[in-house]
A = this chain, B = another copy of it.
């Protein structure tokens, strides 16, 4: 109830702070007999890891994952899987300059007000470092999905005002990992990279968009009414640090459309399968998957930590200047791609288990 768990049948509980002993996750409900590939988990973590390229934070964290339970001779046993990532050098840095100050648009003030006590080092629990645990758990979820023929591909579709104005069906999503900004369009990727480098030089940050496509979902996933498939996807995405908006299928565009344009017409293919001629529904109707691609957009605000002096107050309410220090991301979306995929995988695998129980 304190908000550190997600999922109903495939349920993850994360723990750990940015500069505490480590970050971890316990997965309860992973079916038995799944082959757990530690190298794959590590490779997913490496996609999220700081210091991976010239346009992300230059902090050094190897993010080596360790397994504490739930796996025997390479297979999941149906008991809780605990994954742990030890923090490096967590005591080395001096955080006294922000211990009593509230950084603008960070969680410092709200955590202080809610809990009375807080670990201010690097944001403590509110740090996006927590998402490493999600990526680790998401890698196991992806493993299960692959076996069901389900593929999840996220990519960067906008950085600042640079918008990739192409439908995902016209893109080759296998190219996403071919550049450091994770945009499958090479030309746009280059522009985005240049722009982010420029923003960094200004000591500033910028927002961006991650788009995601889930292909191969069977018909029938999602629970109607409150736990609609897209409602859970929305919650999962909005729970990622810095996310400000979510839309699926036709999304915000739909509000200016007419029903006669927007309705997706059912058709039967030669092989007997049912599909729709268009897919404004985004693969979900009445909260339940209809077998078409599920696609959605996630809006990320600009990172709050900037390398400029900012006015603020301290915990006594006195005026105080906050000075950006350390190494931070000028734009989160390149590193957010694997996080969006991980959360999407966790949502879908949970619905698969829920549907099995029907």
Min C-beta distance of A15 to chain B, whole Å: 4
Contact A32 B228 (CB under 8 A): no
Interface size on A, residues (CB 8 A): 145
Query: Closest CB of chain B to A229's CB: distance in Å?
Result: 9
Cβ < 8 Å to B, chain A residues 1-29: 1-6, 8-9, 11, 13-17, 20-24, 26, 28-29
Rounded to whole angstroms, the CA-CA distance of A120 and B5 in the bound complex is: 29
* A239 CA to B246 CA, complexed, in Å: 13
Chain A positions 87-104 with a Cβ under 8 Å from a chain B Cβ: 102, 104
Decide yes or no whether A51 CB sits under 8 A from chain B.
no
Q: Is A216 an interface residue (CB 8 A)?
A: no
* A110 on interface, CB distance cutoff 8 Å: yes
Bound-state Cα–Cα, A274 to B251, Å: 36
Contact of A301 among B14, B22, B254 (CB under 8 A): B254
Q: Is the beta-carbon distance between B114 and A220 smaller than 8 angstroms?
A: yes
Rounded to whole Å, the gap between the CB of A130 and the closest CB of chain B is 6
For the complex, what is the distance from the CA of A3 to the CA of B221, rounded to whole Å?
12
The answer to whether B226 and A69 touch across the interface, beta carbons within 8 angstroms, is: no
Cβ-defined contact, B266 with A312, below 8 A: yes
A14 to B70, CA, bound (A): 11
**Chain B residue nearest in CB terms to A82:** B15
Contacts of A24 in B (CB 8 A): 26, 68-69, 82
Q: List residues 254-268 of chain A with CB under 8 A from any CB of chain B.
A: 254-268
If A26-B15, A116-B32 touch, does A299 touch B258 (CB 8 Å cutoff)? Answer: no
Which segment, of A41-49, A171-179, A182-190, A303-311, faces chain B? A303-311
When chains A and B are docked, how far (Å) is the Cα of A230 from the Cα of B8?
A: 20
Most buried by B among A79, A119, A311, A318: A79
CA distance A355 to B356 in the complex (A): 9
For window 67-84 of A, CB contacts with B under 8 Å fall at 67-70, 72-73, 75-82, 84
A117: CB under 8 A from chain B?
A: yes
The reply on A105 being an interface residue by CB < 8 A is: yes
Q: Is the Cβ of B252 less than 8 Å from the Cβ of A117?
A: no
List 18 interface pairs A-B (beta carbons < 8 Å), by A numbering: A1-B8, A1-B28, A77-B124, A79-B124, A104-B263, A105-B264, A110-B220, A110-B287, A113-B220, A207-B257, A209-B255, A228-B239, A231-B236, A235-B235, A245-B252, A254-B299, A259-B306, A266-B312
Please provide the 10 A-B residue pairs with the shortest distance between their CB atoms, ordered closest to farther: A107-B286, A3-B223, A245-B247, A3-B227, A205-B259, A110-B288, A207-B255, A235-B235, A15-B80, A231-B238
Given A1-B9, A79-B124, 16 additional A-B pairs, CB 8 A: A1-B11, A1-B354, A4-B26, A4-B223, A24-B26, A79-B125, A105-B262, A109-B219, A109-B266, A111-B288, A158-B256, A225-B239, A226-B235, A235-B235, A259-B305, A261-B302
